[in-house]
Amino acid sequence: MAGNEPIEVENPATEERIGTVHCADPALVDAAVTAAREAFAEWSQTPRADRAKVLGALSSLIGDREEELAQTITRDVGSPITLARRIQAALPKADVDACRAVLDEPEAQEWIGHSQVVREPAGVVAAVTPWNYPLHQAVLKIAPAIAAGCTVVLKPSEVAPLATEALMDLLVAAGVPHGVVNLVHGTGSSVGEALVGHPGIDVVSFTGSTGAGRRVAALAAATPAKVVLELGGKSASVVLDDADLTAAVKVTVANCYLNGGQTCSAWTRLIVPRHRHDEAVDIAAAQAARFAPGDPTDPAARLGPLVSSAQRERVLGMVRAAVADGTRLAFGRTDGGSLPDRGHFVTPVVFSGVDPTARIAQEEVFGPVLVIIPVDGEEEAVAAANAVPYGLHGAVWSADEGRAVAVAARMRTGQVDLNGAAHNPAAPFGGVGASGLGRESGAYGIAEYTTTKAIQFPAGRAS
């Protein structure tokens, strides 16, 4: 890896340089892991109440700085400012609160016969995060890890690293001791690989693409470290024949285009009864028209640019390939549309009448691209929903909640929202299959950073 090389950070809406971070070299990665190891000795012994206090302070500080954090993320990622305020900057506080609430409860005592089972902090965590929700993804690893008593080396995405610099200041101000959370910048192939393969790491927690996740798991296997993988998605929104079609389609389109479609859990496949397909397409196209790309600093903006020119080319390439394959374009354009002169903007896209096995219905696009899949009956709907290698999120829409629950139970995925239910920052989040393994958020997130120890008591001493 090339040590100390500058990485220029770009505003994707203006293509202007807005900052520089410096790539770590092997000695710096090593020093960060060593600092985390040294800090682990004391932090792992810190009383639960003290860790709760630090998390409480962190939550307050994030709350105080929410507006500034939202502005930073809008400049760094291109997220519309209203979304940046509502999700990018607000969710991290909720993530911390969910961990703090766990620490506020007394620790559960577990006995199996004459064995007491205790949970202990697992050690030093390598946290590698993506650019799409840069603060949320970092906090979603750091908060549960330090709640568990672990120490952390964070490597954020080189594409949008600025929010994590601000986070480091907040961690210090919250009273997180020196060495408990360490930050190294750099690309995945250099700094990322050096970190996840470092012998001083006990847990690798990776969020990113499925391809990179496979490589990370292989590197971590050599040491070996425990691995948590939060990977890509191609989630389905399943509309049953008794559902409110207008509400279901409108919410699905908004969910699909959230953050420019650059959301791992986005519902990018809308599965509808065949006899209502054309109606669904009309509603989706009308809704897509409301997502005109524009200046993300405008509070009315609903769709900003994609994060980089590479991401824009990738998305447009997939859209063109789908059109070339004969997929019907119900809304949008293959050339990106007439857009601002600068910035990595694309117009949103809706494909209709899509076969569940089509490439555009199988692969994660990570842009504002919705496919509408017509099906005959509930069996076919479930089969279509499960016909991808991914299994991260999903939705079911029905007037009959019992029916919706039964369909949700058959979906091979980590989360399902019924009839547009809200995100729960304390509920376990994560995937199956190509979407990864392990869970984040709240108690389940903390559990990933612990290891169990069984202590056997002599006969007559048990519980």
Residues with catalytic annotation? 230
Shorter beta-carbon distance to ligand NAD: residue 116 or 209: 209
- Spatial contact of 366 and 328, defined as CB atoms under 8 Å apart: no
104 vs 253: CA distance, rounded Å: 38
Give the bridge partners for 331, in sequence order.
350
228 vs 300: CA distance, rounded Å: 37
What is the DSSP code (8-state) at residue 252? H
Shorter beta-carbon distance to ligand NAD: residue 11 or 262: 262
Shorter beta-carbon distance to ligand NAD: residue 142 or 392: 392
Shorter beta-carbon distance to ligand NAD: residue 51 or 155: 155
Q: How far apart, in Å, are the Cα atoms of 187 and each of 16, 27, 163, 408?
A: 20, 16, 17, 38
Q: Which residues, at least 6 apart from 278, have a Cβ–Cβ distance to it below 8 Å?
A: none
Q: State CA 401 to chain mean position distance.
A: 28
- Tell the smallest beta-carbon distance from residue 414 to ligand NAD (Å): 8
CA dihedral angle for residue 255, residue 258, residue 262, residue 264, rounded to 10 degrees? -40
- Tell the smallest beta-carbon distance from residue 289 to ligand NAD (Å): 26
- Spatial contact of 396 and 238, defined as CB atoms under 8 Å apart: yes
Shorter beta-carbon distance to ligand NAD: residue 263 or 398: 263
Count Cβ atoms below 10 Å from residue 412 Cβ, excluding itself: 16
Tell me the two tokens of residue 401.
């909640």
- Spatial contact of 315 and 346, defined as CB atoms under 8 Å apart: yes
- Spatial contact of 437 and 229, defined as CB atoms under 8 Å apart: yes
- Secondary structure class of 111 (helix, strand, coil): strand
Interface residues with ligand NAD (CB under 6 A) are 128-132, 137, 155-158, 187-189, 192-193, 196, 207-209, 212, 215-216, 230-233, 264, 364, 366, 392, 431, 435-436
Shorter beta-carbon distance to ligand NAD: residue 137 or 352: 137
- Tell the smallest beta-carbon distance from residue 345 to ligand NAD (Å): 18
- Tell the smallest beta-carbon distance from residue 2 to ligand NAD (Å): 15
Q: Which residues, at least 6 apart from 108, have a Cβ–Cβ distance to it below 8 Å?
A: none
- Tell the smallest beta-carbon distance from residue 79 to ligand NAD (Å): 13
